[in-house]
Chains A and B, each alone.
Chain A
Amino acid sequence: MTVTDRIRRTMIFLNTQRAALVKDAFIYRPDCVILDLEDAVAANEKDAARFQLYQTLKHVDYRGVERWVRINGLDTDLFEEDIKAAVAGGTEGIRLPKTETASDVQLVEEKVAAAEKQFGRPVGSTMLMAALESPLAIINAFEIAKSSPRLMGIALSAGDYVRTLHAKRTVAGIELFGARSQMIIAARAAGVMAFDTVYTDIDNMAGFKEEVELIKNMGFDGKSLISPKQIKVAHEIFNPSAKEITHAAHVIQAVRDNGDKGVGVLTVDGKMVDIAWVEGAQRTLDLAKAAGLYKGDLA
C-alpha cells in the first residue's frame, strides 16, 4: 500500500454525475482526483453517478493520477453501495465525509475489507482518507489519524466546519487557524498526511496563492481543489525551489561525507548544519524527486 510514499500536492474534486468532467481530468495532471458521490451529486442522481463511477474506474486510464472516491455519509443508506462500487471498480482510496470518531473510520474499513474479498481485490489495498468537518472531528483528530493502517491522511473540509463552529469565513482564514493547527499536529504525530480545504473563490488566484503558501508553511502536504486552473499554482508553491533542492543535496552529501569522521556540526552553503537538518533536507529531496525536479541518487 502506498499510504505516505507518494506526492499528493493536489486532489481535485470531480462531480461524478457529470460525464464530461470525469472522462479526461487526468490531462490537467493533478496528483489525485476525487470522484465525488456526495455533495456535488443531486439526490435523485446518486444511482446514476454510482454507475458512472464504476464504469469510469474500470475503463478510463487516468495515467498515473491517483483516483479517490468520496462516498456518501455514514448517516445515509447510500454509503455501503458506494463502497462496493468503488472497490469493485478498483479505486486507490476512499474519502470519508464528516468523519467524527475513530469508529467511523473503522466501520468503513470493515465494509471496505468485505468488498475487497467480495470483488477479488487484495485485502488492505484500498486506502482511506478522513475528512474532518466539525468541532468534534477536530477534537478527535489524533484518534482519527491513527485509527487504521489504511488511513493515508486527514483532510479539512471547511464549509461544514465553519458552519458548525458558528464562525464566518474570512479572507485571512483566521476562523480555520485552530483546526488547521490541530490537524497538522495530529497528522504528524500519527504519521499520516494532512490536506487543506478547498478554496472556493475560483477567480481570486492571488487569494488562492496566499492560502496555499500559508498551509504549505504550516506543514500541510496538499490541498483539495475545485478548479483545474488551481493545479499548476499549487504545484509551483509545494515544489521545492532549485535553491532549496541544491542546498538539501549539499546537506545530505556533507553529512554523509563527514559522518564517519566524527564531525557533528558542519557549515554548508554558509550555514551551520547538524544532524537535525538531515530529515528536512531528505524530505525536500524526496519531494523534488517525486515532482520530477531532482534526478540525483540522494533521494
Chain B
Amino acid sequence: MAITTSALAGTLESSDAQVLIEPRAQGVQINLESSVYAQYGAHIEQLAHELVETLGITNATISITDKGALDCTLKARIEAAYYRALGKQQDFDWEVL
C-alpha cells in the first residue's frame, strides 16, 4: 500500500531505532544509518526489505537510524511508523506482523 503522509516512530536512545517513513513516487527505498553498520548493516537492510514485503508497502522512503536495536525493536518501529502514516490504530493482522 502506498502512503501519502510522513510518520516517525522510535527514539535515538541506545538499543532503539528511529524510523521515518515518507511518501515516494515509485518503489521503496531504505536508507540505513547504524551504530553497528559494519557488522549488522546487511542484516538490518534485509530485515527491513522482508518487512516491507510482509506489510505490502509499495511506495515509500524508509529512513532508519539504528542505535543498536534488536530485530524485534527494528520491526516494531517500522510497523509503528508505517501504520502511523496510514492513520491505522487498531484491527491489526497480528499473526503476520
Contacts and interface: CB of A to CB of B under 8 A. Distances in A.
Tell me whether A and B are bound partners: yes
A52 B13 CA distance: 15
A23 B89 CA distance: 24
Given A23-B15, A48-B10, A51-B80, A85 B75 contact: no
27 contacts: A18-B13, A18-B16, A19-B11, A19-B15, A19-B16, A19-B70, A20-B14, A20-B15, A23-B70, A23-B73, A48-B10, A48-B76, A51-B80, A51-B83, A52-B76, A54-B94, A55-B76, A55-B79, A55-B97, A59-B70, A59-B72, A80-B90, A81-B91, A84-B92, A85-B92, A88-B94, A89-B94
Contacts of A59: 70-72
A148 to B, nearest CB: 23
Nearest to A53: B76
Q: Identify whether the interface residues of B are mostly helix, strand, loop, or mixed.
A: mixed
A81 B77 CA distance: 17
B9 A85 contact: no
A85 B84 CA distance: 17
Interface string A259-297: 000000000000000000000000000000000000000
Q: Chain B CB within 10 Å — which of A19, A47, A55, A60 has the most? A: A19
A85 B93 CA distance: 9
Q: Identify whether the interface residues of A are mostly helix, strand, loop, or mixed.
A: helix
A125 interface: no
A147 B76 CA distance: 35
Interface of B: 9-11, 13-17, 69-73, 75-77, 79-80, 83-84, 89-92, 94-95, 97
Interface size class of A (residues with CB under 8 A): 20 to 34
B94 A55 contact: no
A20 B95 CA distance: 24
A60 B74 CA distance: 13
Q: Chain B CB within 10 Å — which of A51, A56, A58, A81 has the most? A: A51
Interface of A: 18-20, 23, 47-48, 51-52, 54-56, 58-60, 77, 80-81, 84-85, 88-89, 119-120
A18 B16 CA distance: 8
Contact of A56 (B72, B77, B79): B72
Given A19-B15, A23-B15, A81-B90, A54 B97 contact: yes
A55 B10 CA distance: 14
Given A80-B90, A119-B94, A55 B9 contact: no
A55 B89 CA distance: 17
B54 to A, nearest CB: 12
